[in-house]
Structure 1
């Protein structure tokens, strides 16, 4: 399990504040049963969300348009 840093994620998301909102929203989706796009190896949903963002394996527009979680960033 590799450590995920903010700098890894900022290669995919340019704004730190957007990164926080995206990772929180994706973590909530994962905690509520969404299918992860990477192999999940005993990580917490927050770590998994950051790993997905760093790997660019999720589309941020899809995460933000999910109607099941409230919109925090537009």
Structure 2
């Protein structure tokens, strides 16, 4: 599994709050049965 740090993610999404919202949304998708990438 790849090691992804917050610093790596902030390069793509500059706002940390938005980053948390994106991560939570993806976690909900995976929990509901969406395939993990």
TM range (shorter): 0.7 to 0.9
Structure 1: segments with no counterpart, 5+ residues: 39-74
RMSD after superposition: 1.2
Structure 2: segments with no counterpart, 5+ residues: none
Give how far 1:6 is off.
0.4
Query: Larger RCO: Structure 1 or Structure 2 (Cα < 8 Å, ≥ 6 residues apart)?
Result: 1
How many residue pairs match? The answer is: 37
Structure showing the higher helix proportion among its residues: 2
CA deviation map 1:32-70 (0-9, x unaligned): 11123x3xxxxxxxxxxxxxxxxxxxxxxxxxxxxxxxx
Q: Structure 2-normalised TM-score?
A: 0.75
In structure 2, the partner of 1:19 is 19
